[in-house]
A and B are shown apart, each in its own frame.
Chain A
Amino acid sequence: MPDKAVLDLSRLEEAFEDDRTGIAELLEMALETGKKHRRLLEEGLASADPAVVARAAHGIKGSAGTIGATVVYELAIELDERARAGNLTGTRERIDAIDAAYARVADQVREYRAGLS
């Protein structure tokens, strides 16, 4: 079972019950969506456009919140709020932190998948 501090599956388990394949699919989907938003985040930072950063962070926040990736979720909320206020200072550090947290989520997802077969 995944580490709750990194990936809290209770919301998904509540909805999917025993359908662990369904949960795994949703987790994969969240990682894929996360990558897409992660690229958008980089674009936003490169063009110094807070609106793009906010949109990307909002997307990350949504997926992470849904799958229970608590740390990523909290980081993304902060980034979203700062970007919406037009503040891009410290974005790089936060992206790094999100990457690190995401990597741990990805590990947990891999483990979860491995546990299925």
Chain B
Amino acid sequence: MLAGAVFLVVALGSASFFQIAGGAGTRAGYIWIVWLVATTFLVVALLSETHRLSRAVATNERRLRGIVDGVADALVSVDARGAVVSVNRAAAALFGFVAEEMIGTSVTRMLPDYTSVAGQQEATIVETVGRDARGTLFPVEFARGRDVTAGLGDERIIILRDITQRKAAEEAIRAAHDRAVEVAEIKSQFLATMSHEIRTPINAVVGMSELLLGTPLSDEARDYAVTVRDSADSLLAVVNDILDFSKIEAGRMDLESIPFAPVAALENATDILGAAARKKGLSLATYVAPDVPRRVLGDADRLRQVFLNLIGNAVKFTERGSVTVRAVVERVEPEKTVVLRFSVTDTGPGIAPDAAGHLFEPFRQADQSTRRRYGGTGLGLSISRRLVELMGGSIGFESTVGGGATFWFTVPFAQVVRDGEGMRTGALRGARVLVVDPEGEARQAVDQYLFAWGVVASSTANAAHGLELAKAAVARSGAYDAVIVDRGAGDDAFALGARLHAIAGLEAVPLVLVTGANETSSLHEARAKGFAAVVRKPIRRSVLHDALVAAIDGAVAPTIPVATFDGVVTQRGGDMLVLVAEDNPVNRKLALQQLKKLGYRAHAVTDGREAIEAVTHGNYDLVLMDCQMPEVDGFEATRAIRRAENARGGHVPIVAMTANALEGDRDACLAAGMDDYLAKPVQLAALGALVERFARGVRVAG
């Protein structure tokens, strides 16, 4: 339309001009009017078009403005000189300005670090700092948008976002994490301190009350001392449980992998608990299947701990009857791995099904009355389960109320030597042995051992039946090579022995007496009554084997192993020689004085090098080693001494004296080859208990 109007105006305009020039009167006037109208029309049309365009522009701008102002992020456009050209509402709000105040000012007023972040790639986001109208700094996210070309040059669009809250949240998370780490640290330090500050004095109480019991006491005083010792013992057990549990929970329980005899671990545990079983009149029997490997790789102490817990529970909860411990091979896996299955069967009250579900959970016992009646932390089974699981095995139990319980666990071990007793079992192959033992479990175990050794065995629970069997055997000219008689067989095992020897053809049959552990005096009596050997309960496979071989060969029976420590008090080793390696003269002098007071001889050296020298040339029974010494420290000296021992044999006990009772220190001490450690400043009683332990040749690594 506009084009038409322009044409008309131009055409009419030129026509009227020629007409006027040609002088054509009214006609020319007419054309002129038409031209005027057309021109007017053109002007109006132009004006209206302009108006329409400008309205469209304004609408667009309003729309854009609306978008820009509606964006939650702050948008700022900055010119090449760094002056703010425009801002959106969010930007004004972010910095606390009125928008107009910002226009024209340097952007560094709001973004002090603008120059260092301005040059980055388009659409990448960095963190920088913003400054508001009051000068407060706060963290912002900075993104560079697309540059736009404008009048004076490029304008840069930047997008900003306040991240104060996010930062605060991040900071809070970090702080919470740091705090948690710190708390864990404090906790483990606390536990380390516990281990010393509680265990050391309790050990001293136990040690000292044992010493006290070795002195002449009135019955009443003895009674008190026994109570002190037993209470300290149970307190120590509780503390150890809690420490173990915390250690496992914290993932700090490290298992060893060194060769050990699983049978020894089991028998050691039954030895320890044998006294408690006997006190209650329970029979405690062990059976180890012949194919259980002699040595495997693993953690003997932890395995023994599980035994102690399970057997201890069985003894604790069983009022009459027996506790039987078994070790068998569950299966042999490739790569020389053998899975052993251990079980502890008792004739106790059994476990109700509703209690069974949470038996292995921490702090739970079968019921609350159990806690009141039997005590304990309720951690034992839970620790056992975790230890077994750490060893890669599983644990469980079968029980019926009133029908006793069997707790079992399996552990895979790498095998070191398989069936090591094979060489020796030949000695008994084909021998004929009669077993008279009223205790079913013990008899069964003996039978199985004998069977494994190739012995032809007859067994009975009854003395009279035993005599009949013996007579019958002689009658068919198959006299026994040996008879094993339990002390509890018939009214009098010695009488039974005499009657066996009275049978024609059995006059010289070797008799082996099976007896309780504490009846040491009966060895002489047994010999006098014609018995060739005495084996104490719980019966050890190797001891029974050797006793039988010796008895049949007519050799002197092996002496029975030394009884467990209860009741045995050794004299202080007056000839024991201790070396003190300590650089601090004050500590050195006190340690020497303390040892003197305790009745031990001692020498002192002042650093690690002298300690190595002294141990190499001297003959020390114990070394007390300060950890932190100048030049060669205690750890290094210990490592050097152990290296030398590896070459020439021997093992001098080395006890660390450390001023930092931290778990890491303890581990470092043991890792360096030390046997135990003492916290400084050294308490006389703790030192006494410790030297006492080593004087007896017992290693107790905390």
A residues contacting B by CB (< 8 A) are 11-12, 14-17, 22, 26, 29-30, 33, 55, 58-59, 61-63, 65-67
In the assembled complex, which residues on chain B have CB atoms less than 8 Å from the CB atom of A55? Answer: 630
Q: Contact mask B555-595 → A, CB, 8 Å, 1/0?
A: 00000000000000000000000000000111101100110
In the assembled complex, which residues on chain A have CB atoms less than 8 Å from the CB atom of B680? Answer: 62, 65-66
Contact of B169 with A by CB under 8 A: no
Q: Contact mask B589-607 → A, CB, 8 Å, 1/0?
A: 1100110010000000000
Contact of B628 with A by CB under 8 A: yes
Q: Are A11 and B585 in contact (CB under 8 A)?
A: no
| 16 A–B contacts from the bound complex (CB under 8 Å) | A11-B683, A14-B684, A15-B593, A15-B684, A16-B593, A16-B597, A26-B590, A30-B586, A33-B586, A55-B630, A58-B659, A62-B587, A62-B659, A62-B681, A63-B587, A66-B590
Task: Among B584, B628, B659, B684, point to the contact of A11 (Cβ < 8 A).
Answer: B684
Q: Contact mask B263-275 → A, CB, 8 Å, 1/0?
A: 0000000000000
Q: Are A15 and B659 in contact (CB under 8 A)?
A: no
In the assembled complex, which residues on chain B have CB atoms less than 8 Å from the CB atom of A17? Answer: 597
Q: Contact mask B621-665 → A, CB, 8 Å, 1/0?
A: 000000010100000000000000000000000000001000000
Tell me the complex Cα distance, A75–B584, Å. 18
Tell me the complex Cα distance, A58–B589, Å. 17
Tell me the complex Cα distance, A29–B586, Å. 6
Q: Could you tell me the dominant secondary structure of chain A's interface residues?
A: helix
Q: Are A11 and B586 in contact (CB under 8 A)?
A: no
In the assembled complex, which residues on chain B have CB atoms less than 8 Å from the CB atom of A14? Answer: 597, 684
Q: Are A12 and B590 in contact (CB under 8 A)?
A: yes
Give, as a whole number of angstroms, the nearest-CB distance from A99 to chain B: 19
Tell me the complex Cα distance, A59–B586, Å. 10
Tell me the complex Cα distance, A65–B591, Å. 13
Tell me the complex Cα distance, A101–B680, Å. 21
Tell me the complex Cα distance, A61–B586, Å. 11
Q: Are A15 and B597 in contact (CB under 8 A)?
A: yes
Q: A11-B683, A15-B684, A65-B680 are in contact. Are A59 and B590 (CB under 8 A)?
A: no
Write the chain A residue with the least CB distance to B598. A15
Give, as a whole number of angstroms, the nearest-CB distance from A25 to chain B: 8
Write the chain A residue with the least CB distance to B630. A55
B586, B628, B684 interface centre (most CB from chain A within 10 Å):
B586
B residues contacting A by CB (< 8 A) are 584-587, 589-590, 593-594, 597, 628, 630, 659, 680-681, 683-684
In the assembled complex, which residues on chain A have CB atoms less than 8 Å from the CB atom of B681? Answer: 11, 62, 65-66
Tell me the complex Cα distance, A59–B626, Å. 12
Q: A65-B659, A65-B680, A65-B681 are in contact. Are A11 and B590 (CB under 8 A)?
A: yes
Tell me the complex Cα distance, A55–B659, Å. 13
Q: Are B593 and A63 in contact (CB under 8 A)?
A: no
In the assembled complex, which residues on chain B have CB atoms less than 8 Å from the CB atom of A33? Answer: 584-586
Q: How many A-B residue pairs have CB under 8 A?
A: 51
Q: Are B584 and A15 in contact (CB under 8 A)?
A: no
Tell me the complex Cα distance, A29–B587, Å. 10
In the assembled complex, which residues on chain A have CB atoms less than 8 Å from the CB atom of B659? Answer: 58, 61-62, 65
In the assembled complex, which residues on chain B have CB atoms less than 8 Å from the CB atom of A11? Answer: 590, 681, 683-684
Give, as a whole number of angstroms, the nearest-CB distance from A14 to chain B: 5
Write the chain A residue with the least CB distance to B592. A15
Q: A15-B593, A15-B594, A26-B589 are in contact. Are A62 and B684 (CB under 8 A)?
A: no
Q: Are A63 and B586 in contact (CB under 8 A)?
A: yes
Write the chain A residue with the least CB distance to B595. A15
Give, as a whole number of angstroms, the nearest-CB distance from A61 to chain B: 6
The 7 A-B residue pairs with the shortest CB-CB distance, nearest first, are A65-B681, A63-B586, A62-B584, A15-B593, A30-B586, A15-B594, A14-B684
Tell me the complex Cα distance, A14–B590, Å. 10
Give, as a whole number of angstroms, the nearest-CB distance from B319 to chain A: 46
Write the chain B residue with the least CB distance to A17. B597
In the assembled complex, which residues on chain B have CB atoms less than 8 Å from the CB atom of A16? Answer: 593, 597
Tell me the complex Cα distance, A67–B86, Å. 77
Write the chain B residue with the least CB distance to A62. B584
Tell me the complex Cα distance, A112–B680, Å. 25
In the assembled complex, which residues on chain A have CB atoms less than 8 Å from the CB atom of B683? Answer: 11
In the assembled complex, which residues on chain B have CB atoms less than 8 Å from the CB atom of A61? Answer: 659
Write the chain A residue with the least CB distance to B596. A15
Q: Are A59 and B584 in contact (CB under 8 A)?
A: yes
Q: A62-B659, A62-B680 are in contact. Are A67 and B586 (CB under 8 A)?
A: yes
Give, as a whole number of angstroms, the nearest-CB distance from B627 to chain A: 10
In the assembled complex, which residues on chain B have CB atoms less than 8 Å from the CB atom of A15? Answer: 590, 593-594, 597, 684
Tell me the complex Cα distance, A84–B681, Å. 20
In the assembled complex, which residues on chain B have CB atoms less than 8 Å from the CB atom of A62? Answer: 584, 586-587, 659, 680-681
Tell me the complex Cα distance, A37–B97, Å. 62
In the assembled complex, which residues on chain B have CB atoms less than 8 Å from the CB atom of A26? Answer: 586, 589-590, 593
Tell me the complex Cα distance, A65–B584, Å. 12
In the assembled complex, which residues on chain A have CB atoms less than 8 Å from the CB atom of B630? Answer: 55
Give, as a whole number of angstroms, the nearest-CB distance from B543 to chain A: 44
Give, as a whole number of angstroms, the nearest-CB distance from A15 to chain B: 4
Write the chain A residue with the least CB distance to B681. A65
Tell me the complex Cα distance, A66–B679, Å. 12
Add 4 more A-B contacts to A26-B593, A63-B587, A66-B681 (CB < 8 A): A11-B683, A12-B590, A17-B597, A61-B659
Tell me the complex Cα distance, A59–B628, Å. 10
In the assembled complex, which residues on chain A have CB atoms less than 8 Å from the CB atom of B586? Answer: 26, 29-30, 33, 62-63, 66-67
